[in-house]
């Protein structure tokens, strides 16, 4: 038990610090440009609205008090009223969250579905043409900028080949290209990792023993690698899920996917700062929660830390 | 897209992700690859620097008559447009060349900014230890655990897009790697007696940094800087694509991809060529960084 | 109906056509020209910000509001005024107009439409507390009376021959007094109630606005059951949507993409010469735009011919002044606006121009070709020695700046000639207190006021000639082009675009070719 607490304690602390850090940066940046009130109300708002918001933010009080008020608001989920949508910012952001969740899960699922078997295959057929080709593609997937990947996919698979729609959210056919774009980096990373992990396992003695006993290659691979490679693969894979959120901003913009990434960008163009604040914070929250959960799971799986 | 793995994940796991494909090659082969990679970077840098002389045309010169022209040797304005023209008749090749300037300028500057910030924080953390060390390292882990692009766009949204803001933001996105390396080096040295000895002999902290810390971390810094350069170039292109980076009419690879979006089906060259050049540059630079790491400092796999 | 079903339908139809051994091209395209659809989808270049017809005059909104609401009089795509809610109208004396209302007209909530609603709507348009966008449309009206439920009497301050035309355009939509008062402006804006052929159902911002056909519409239920307005701001996806059959009509089709629509088997082009102008409106309060010589230079430095020929592929006219072709008193004697960069430089020198920055704040896709024109003009101005800069702003920011009057320099505007008369465009927008009041000139104001109330067309013509001269010395707008406004349509849509940007869906103008 002590090991578990010792493991989780600092990680929880780090998660909270990250959240605090994000809120503080938001607070500082908003104040940097002078009076934040004009950023938070529509320009045709009556004087009374200005004053109400100013009072809510505690602008007549000293800066540390303002900061406390701000943090208090954040903890309550109060990010102000969206100028563009004329609703509480929190509600607006929540409305767009499902679309991003759908995209992220699809990207993630696709990445796993393709990467794990491909990695496995590459490892088993080590140094063959298949191996070289797939690893080459993986390299490109890891270093290609997401936005250009999306543009290329649209050009090749939507405009030229006419297999998929160019943008928007709808049936499954609308999901394919965006999921592929968003998941490309994760797919490439997981494929490479799987390959390495499997290679590592294949090197082990017990594998050679099994081979000597005449057990077929595939059975060897499946039985032993899946058990031993699972841990690192699962960990890295789950961590990639968090990274997807950053890539979502770009992917959603390229494909006009109505999720919170696109919302964040549109809100910036619209100068709708309540929504910008809220999306930044919410994304950080989701990301940090996912990471934390992964670390907890890892803690349970890693025999060094597992509670007895 | 940088790797953003928190420190808790064991090194073996991370090593496996970043292991070079195709098995480990001999050091000699790796050296040749590094040379080729660095040569490529040098070539791009030369092209960027020489842009005013080697660019066939002024990248902002419009020619409405020759707009949206496919690659041709005889354009409507009588000039050759080897990569075609964009929606205002501007020569795509010239813009790609000048775009290299922007990408490398911002990329290198951001690397320097990030390096300075990171090195300073890392040395401070290692030297002072205690709560400052914990604070800085927690900050680093926290930032690693966060999709920075959101913060970047938030900051640029309020402050407005400009070159200094862009460089600062991109630099800030990557200080962590430098900090970690510098910090460990400082810790290593601190545990040795000679630091105390130098202090006793009246040597200053600055001297210690310059003579004993930096030379040892130089190779690690080179590796990190190379990888960070690739990442910075891509981040600048992404921000420009979103309209938050380099502002028109200054050509930038990301901005050109954005401009060509509307004409993908008719004038695909406007988006495709800058994007391919970007992809190639990112690929070569990051691979060079990988090979450098294999060559100089495999312990850096954790980054 | 899902897109898959439609594709299958078209595929099936095409195969049938071919198999029928009719001349293949004719067979398959003929089949693709009909439909069974009961839902009609329109993709615009921007979302709808206001459903309250008094709160916005931009194209995206009026396309909806003219179908949700009725006016007393309607201007059809043929350019003529036709009775709508008013069955007849008469001028009594010089300043009194009597309108007889149609009986049996009901609002969407069941309330009958009476003269009280007309009176309320007109008075609401200039209510200072509401800060409407149409507060200067009816400045000629002195008083509105509703002597009986089917009669409206309007007294104008001075003789106003254009009153019927004014009532036909924005500002003249009729709102239900009871429902609008009960809801209040904010709620009414989110759930509008009118008497028109379309009834509001729902609106999801940045996604779609859903309207359904009003089955009891006095003009007859329109040809479909539902109409959906979707915003697709980016051009390429919007055009792709109509090419692939995902939507039935798109607006703001840029000239660069026309060939895609005309070359596609299932789509066609709809066009109308815009009854208005595309201009760079000027905030003449900002230096150095307060100097007429600078503005003259700005106008001289623009190569409008090249813009029309290249950026618009010839689909437009180089204007000759602030009056649109097709309007009364359009001066055919005036030459197209001049392009002379040398003279522009001379003017700049004369003005003592010290290289101050001149900013164009452009939207992207709100006004067709806005960004490309901004960039082209930026290049032209720089060539003439002007320190020009282009900044991109989102439509909502532009709307804010419009209300705020806080533009940094120039911005795109597409003033509509609402009355087919200079009074409805040049004077309405540039008059004191009007939506674009950034510049004043005593003679200009005097002439505008006089011409508005004169019934002597000769006098008016002369007045507008003089106003044009003053305009072209001071350039409160830098007039750029009078373009053709193009729509992409599925071939089964039978519809005539209206030069004033309305999308008229009533039975007399809109029908789908049915299988």
Categorize the per-residue pLDDT at C294 as very low, low, confident or very high, splitting at 50, 70 and 90. Answer: very high
- Determine, for residues B249 and C378 on separate chains, whether the beta-carbon distance falls below 8 Å: yes
Q: Which two tokens stand for residue B232?
A: 């910075």
Chains B and C: how many Cβ contacts under 8 Å? 48
3-state secondary structure at position C213: strand
β-pair partners for B122: none
**pLDDT beyond 80 at C436:** yes
Alpha helices in B50-91 (DSSP H): 51-54
Q: What is the pLDDT of residues B253-277, one digit of tens each?
A: 999 999 998 888 889 999 999 999 9
Q: What 8-state DSSP symbol labels residue C393?
A: -
pLDDT for res B32: 86
Question: How confident is the model over A178-197, as pLDDT tens digits?
Answer: 999 999 998 998 888 888 88
Q: Is C153 helix (H, G, I), strand (E, B) or coil?
A: strand
Total length of chain A = 308
Minimal Cα distance from C245: which residue of A?
A: A165
Q: Give the three-state DSSP class for B229.
A: helix
Query: How does pLDDT run across A198-256, given as a tens digit for each residue?
Result: 887 777 766 677 767 766 666 666 666 666 667 677 777 766 766 777 789 899 999 98
Q: Is the pLDDT of residue C433 over 80?
A: no
Instruction: Please name the residue of chain B whose CA is at the shortest distance from the CA of residue C376.
Output: B88
* Chain B positions in Cβ-Cβ contact with residue C309 (cut-off 8 Å): 64-65
Establish how many alpha carbons lie within 13 A of residue B82's alpha carbon, considering only the half-sphere containing its beta carbon. 8
Residue B42, class by beta-carbon neighbours within 10 Å (0-12 exposed, 13-18 middle, 19+ buried)?
exposed
User: Range with the lowest mean pLDDT among B75-84, C62-71, C180-189, C404-413?
Assistant: B75-84
HSE, CB side, 13 Å, CA atoms: give it for residue C325: 17
The β-bridge relationship of strands C388-392 and C358-362 is parallel
Per-residue pLDDT, A224: 66
B-chain residues near C311 (CB < 8 A): 64, 67
Q: What share of chain A is helix, strand, coil (3-state, %, to 5)?
A: 80, 0, 20
The tens digit of pLDDT for each residue in C136-161 reads: 889 889 999 999 999 999 999 988 88
For residue B40, cis peptide bond before it (omega within 30 degrees of 0) = no
Report the length, in residues, of chain B: 303
User: Tell me: the pLDDT tens digits for A49-100?
Assistant: 777 777 777 777 777 887 888 888 888 888 888 877 878 889 999 999 999 9
Q: How many Å apart are CA A238 and CA A193, to the nearest integer?
A: 13
Calculate how close chain A gets to B302, using CA atoms only, in Å.
Answer: 13
Q: Which residue has the tokens 């310059």?
A: B210
Say how far apart CA A232 and CA A230 lie, in whole Å: 6
Phi-psi region of C374 (alpha: psi -120 to 50; beta: other; left: phi over 0): alpha
Q: In chain B, what residues touch A126 (CB-CB under 8 Å)? A: 23
Q: Which has more confidence, C393 or C44?
A: C44
pLDDT at B27: 76
Over residues B72-99, mean pLDDT: 88
**Closest approach of chain A CAs to the CA of C505, in angstroms?**
26
> What is the average pLDDT across C358-378?
90
- pLDDT tens-digit readout, C192-242: 999 999 999 999 877 889 999 999 999 999 999 999 999 888 887 889 889
* Interatomic CA distance for residues C315 and C328, integer angstroms: 22
Best interface-test mutation with C: which of B60, B64, B250 has the largest number of C CBs within 10 A? B64
**Tokens found for residue B41:** 């970077």
Is C256 within 8 Å of B243 when comparing Cβ atoms? no
Contact at CB, B265 and C390, closer than 8 angstroms? no
pLDDT of residue A305: 55
CA distance to partner chain A, nearest, from residue B191 (Å): 25
Radius of gyration of chain B (CA): 22
Q: Do A166 and C237 touch (CB under 8 A)?
A: yes
Do the chains contact at A236 and B283, CB–CB below 8 Å?
no
Q: Which chains touch B (3 or more CB pairs under 8 A)?
A: A, C
Collapsing DSSP to helix, strand or coil, B81 comes out as: strand
Contacts of B21 in chain A (CB under 8 A): 131-132, 135-136, 138-139, 192, 195
pLDDT score of B299:
65
This prediction has a pTM of 0.82
pLDDT band at B1 (very low <50, low <70, confident <90, very high): very low
- Cβ separation of A85 and C246 shorter than 8 Å? no
What per-residue confidence (pLDDT) applies to B8?
42
Are the C-beta atoms of B225 and B297 separated by less than 8 Å?
A: no
Flag whether pLDDT at A175 surpasses 90. Answer: yes
Q: How many CA atoms lie within 13 A of C298 on its CB side?
A: 34
Length of chain C: 515
CB count within 10 Å of CB A294 equals 22
CB contact under 8 A, B60 and C260: no
Closest-CA distance of chain B to residue A55, Å: 22
Which residue shows structure tokens 């990112």? B282
- Give B248→chain C minimum CA distance, Å: 8
Interface test with C, best of A252, A257, A270 (most C CBs within 10 A): A270
- Which parts of chain A are beta strand (E)? none
Say how far residue B271 (Cα) sits from the centre of its chain: 21
* Cis amide prior to C288 (ω within 30 degrees): yes
* Cα–Cα dist A36/A53, whole Å: 10
pLDDT over 80 at B114, yes or no: yes
Residues facing residue A133 across a β-bridge: none
What is the spatial distance between Cα C179 and Cα B186, in angstroms, rounded to a whole number? 75
Q: In chain A, which residues have their Cβ closer than 8 Å to the Cβ of C397? A: 269-271
Spatial CA neighbour of B20 closest among A138, C202, C490, A121: A138
CB contact under 8 A, A166 and C246: no
Interface of C with B (CB under 8 A): 234-236, 240, 256-257, 260, 303, 306-307, 309-311, 372, 375-376, 378-380, 390, 392
Q: Which among C240, C306, C392 has CB closest to B64?
A: C306
pLDDT of residue C455: 81
Q: Per DSSP, which regions of B19-168 are E strands?
A: none
Q: Find chains touching chain C: ≥3 CB pairs under 8 Å.
A: A, B
Residues 6 or more apart in contact with residue C242 via CB below 8 angstroms: C43, C248, C249, C250, C261, C267, C488, C489, C490
Of A263-267, B68-72, C340-344, highest mean pLDDT: C340-344
Is residue B301's pLDDT more than 60?
no
Distance of CA C455 to the CA centre of its chain: 27
Phi-psi region of B83 (alpha: psi -120 to 50; beta: other; left: phi over 0): alpha
Q: At residue B225, does pLDDT exceed 90?
A: yes
Looking at beta carbons, which residues of chain C come within 8 Å of B68?
256
Q: What is the pLDDT of residue C28?
A: 40
For residue A35, what is the nearest residue in chain B, using CA coordinates?
B158
The DSSP element (H or E) to which C468 belongs, if any, is: helix C457-474
C306 → chain B, closest CA residue: B64
Contact residues, chain B to chain C, C-beta under 8 Å: 60-62, 64-65, 67-68, 87-89, 243, 248-249, 261-266
C17: pLDDT strictly greater than 50: no
Q: What per-residue confidence (pLDDT) applies to A238?
A: 67
**Residue B201: φ, ψ to 5°:** -85, 0
Instruction: Give C20: exposed, middle or buried? Use CB within 10 Å, 0-12, 13-18, 19+.
Output: exposed
Diameter over CA atoms, chain B = 76
Q: Could you count the other beta carbons within 10 Å of the beta carbon of residue A297?
A: 13
**Which one of C207, C236, C400 has the shortest CB-CB distance to A43?**
C400
In chain A, % of residues over pLDDT 70: 81
- Give the residue numbers in A contacting C (CB under 8 Å), as ranges: 42-44, 84-86, 158-159, 165-168, 170-171, 256, 258, 266, 269-272
Which residue in the block uniquely carries the two structure tokens 């980096």?
Answer: A185
The chain C residue lying nearest B66, using CA atoms, is C310
State the pLDDT confidence band at B9, using cuts at 50, 70 and 90. Answer: very low
**Mutation to test the C interface, candidates A96, A150, A164, A167, most C Cβ within 10 Å:** A167
**C151 burial level (CB within 10 Å; 0-12, 13-18, 19+):** middle
């Amino acid at each position: 038990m002590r090991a578990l607490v010792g493991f989780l304690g600092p990680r929880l602390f780090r998660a909270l610090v990250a959240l605090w850090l994000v809120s503080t940066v938001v607070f500082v940046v908003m104040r940097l440009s002078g009076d934040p009130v004009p950023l938070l109300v529509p320009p045709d708002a009556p004087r009374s609205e200005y004053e109400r918001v100013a009072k809510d933010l505690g602008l007549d009080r000293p800066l540390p008090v303002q900061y406390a008020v701000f943090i208090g608001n954040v903890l309550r989920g109060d990010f102000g009223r969206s100028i563009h949508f004329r609703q509480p910012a929190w509600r607006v952001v929540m409305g767009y969250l499902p679309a991003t969740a759908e995209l992220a899960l699809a990207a993630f699922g696709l990445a796993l579905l393709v990467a794990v078997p491909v990695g496995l295959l590459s490892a088993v057929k080590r140094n063959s043409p298949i191996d070289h080709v797939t690893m080459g593609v993986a390299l490109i997937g890891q270093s290609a900028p997401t936005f250009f990947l999306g543009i290329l996919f649209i050009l090749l698979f939507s405009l030229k080949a006419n297999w998929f729609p160019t943008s928007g959210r709808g049936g499954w056919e609308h999901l394919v290209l965006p999921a592929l774009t968003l998941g490309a980096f994760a797919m490439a990373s997981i494929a490479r990792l799987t390959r390495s992990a499997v290679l590592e396992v294949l090197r082990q003695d017990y594998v050679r023993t099994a081979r000597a006993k005449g057990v077929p290659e595939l059975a060897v691979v499946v039985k032993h690698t899946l058990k031993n490679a699972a841990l690192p693969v699962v960990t890295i894979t789950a961590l990639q899920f968090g990274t997807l959120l950053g890539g979502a901003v770009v992917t959603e913009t390229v494909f006009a996917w109505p999720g919170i990434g696109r919302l964040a960008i549109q809100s910036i163009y619209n100068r709708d700062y309540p929504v910008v604040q809220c999306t930044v914070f919410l994304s950080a929250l989701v990301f940090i929660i996912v990471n934390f959960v992964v670390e907890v799971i890892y803690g349970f799986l890693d025999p060094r830390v597992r509670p007895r | 897209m940088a790797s953003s793995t928190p420190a808790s994940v064991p090194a073996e796991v991370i090593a496996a992700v970043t292991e070079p494909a195709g098995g480990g090659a001999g050091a000699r082969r790796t050296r040749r690859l590094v040379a080729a990679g660095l040569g490529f970077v040098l070539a791009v840098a030369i092209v960027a620097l020489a842009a005013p002389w080697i660019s066939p045309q002024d990248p902002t010169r419009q020619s409405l008559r020759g707009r949206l022209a496919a690659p041709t040797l005889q354009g409507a304005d009588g000039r050759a447009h080897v990569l075609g023209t964009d929606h205002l008749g501007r020569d795509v090749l010239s813009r790609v060349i000048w775009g290299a300037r922007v990408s490398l300028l911002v990329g290198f500057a951001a690397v320097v900014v990030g390096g300075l910030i990171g090195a300073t924080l890392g040395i401070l953390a290692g030297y002072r230890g205690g709560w400052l060390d914990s604070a800085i390292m927690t900050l680093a882990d926290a930032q690693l655990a966060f999709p920075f692009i959101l913060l970047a766009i938030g900051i640029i949204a309020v402050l407005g897009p400009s070159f200094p803001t862009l460089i600062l933001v991109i630099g800030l996105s990557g200080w962590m790697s430098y900090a970690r390396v510098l910090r460990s080096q400082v810790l290593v040295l601190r545990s040795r007696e000679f630091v105390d000895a130098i202090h006793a002999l009246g040597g200053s902290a600055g001297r210690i940094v310059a003579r004993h810390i930096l030379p040892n971390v130089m190779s690690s810094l080179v590796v990190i800087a190379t990888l960070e350069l690739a990442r910075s170039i891509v981040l600048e292109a992404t921000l420009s694509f979103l309209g938050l980076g380099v502002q028109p009419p200054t050509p930038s690879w990301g901005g050109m991809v954005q401009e060509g979006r509307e004409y993908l089906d008719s004038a695909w060259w406007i988006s495709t060529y800058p994007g391919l050049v970007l992809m190639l540059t990112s690929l070569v630079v990051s691979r060079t960084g990988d090979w450098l790491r294999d060559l100089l400092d495999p312990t850096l796999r954790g980054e | 109906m899902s897109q898959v079903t439609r594709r299958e339908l078209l595929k099936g139809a095409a195969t049938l056509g071919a198999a029928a051994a009719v001349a293949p091209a004719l067979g398959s395209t003929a089949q693709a020209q009909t439909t069974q659809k009961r839902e009609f989808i329109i993709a615009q270049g921007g979302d709808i910000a206001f459903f309250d017809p008094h709160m916005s005059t931009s194209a995206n909104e009026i396309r909806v509001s003219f179908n949700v609401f009725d006016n007393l009089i309607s201007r059809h795509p043929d350019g003529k005024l036709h009775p709508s809610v008013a069955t007849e109208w008469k001028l009594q004396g010089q300043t009194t107009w009597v309108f007889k209302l149609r009986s049996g007209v009901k609002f969407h909530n069941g309330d009958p439409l009476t003269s009280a609603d007309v009176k309320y709507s007109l008075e609401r348009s200039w209510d200072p507390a509401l800060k409407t966008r149409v507060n200067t449309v009816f400045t000629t009206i002195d008083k509105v009376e509703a002597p009986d439920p089917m009669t409206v009497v309007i007294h104008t301050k001075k003789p106003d021959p254009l009153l019927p035309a004014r009532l036909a355009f924005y500002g003249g939509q009729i709102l239900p007094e009871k429902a609008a008062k009960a809801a209040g402006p904010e709620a009414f804006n989110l759930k509008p109630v009118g008497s028109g052929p379309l009834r509001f159902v729902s609106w999801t911002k940045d996604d779609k606005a859903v309207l359904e056909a009003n089955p009891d519409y006095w003009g007859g239920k329109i040809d479909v059951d539902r109409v959906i307005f979707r915003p697709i701001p980016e051009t390429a996806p919007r055009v792709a949507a109509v090419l692939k059959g995902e939507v039935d009509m798109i607006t703001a089709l840029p000239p660069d993409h026309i060939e895609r629509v005309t070359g596609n088997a299932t789509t066609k082009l709809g066009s109308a010469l815009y009854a208005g102008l595309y201009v760079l409106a000027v905030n003449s309060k900002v230096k150095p735009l307060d100097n007429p010589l600078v503005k003259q230079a700005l106008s001289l430095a623009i190569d409008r011919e090249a813009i029309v020929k290249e950026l618009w592929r010839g689909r437009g006219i180089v204007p000759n002044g602030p009056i649109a072709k097709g309007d009364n008193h359009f001066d055919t004697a005036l030459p197209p606006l001049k392009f002379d960069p040398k003279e522009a430089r001379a003017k700049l020198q004369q003005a003592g121009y010290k290289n101050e920055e001149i900013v164009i704040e452009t939207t992207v896709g709100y006004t067709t070709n806005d960004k490309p024109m901004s960039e082209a003009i930026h290049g032209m101005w720089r060539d003439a020695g002007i320190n020009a800069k282009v900044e991109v702003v989102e439509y909502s920011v532009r709307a804010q700046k419009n209300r705020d009057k806080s533009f940094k320099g120039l911005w795109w505007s597409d003033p509509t000639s609402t009355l087919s008369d200079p009074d409805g465009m040049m004077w309405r927008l540039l008059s004191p207190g009007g939506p674009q009041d950034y510049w004043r000139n005593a003679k200009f104001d005097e002439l505008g006021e006089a011409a508005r109330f004169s019934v002597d067309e000769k006098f008016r013509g002369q007045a507008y000639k003089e106003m044009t001269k003053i305009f072209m010395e001071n350039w409160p707008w830098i007039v750029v082009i009078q373009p053709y406004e193009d729509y992409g349509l599925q071939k089964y849509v039978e519809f005539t675009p209206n030069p004033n940007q309305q999308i008229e869906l009533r039975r007399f103008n809109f029908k789908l070719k049915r299988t």
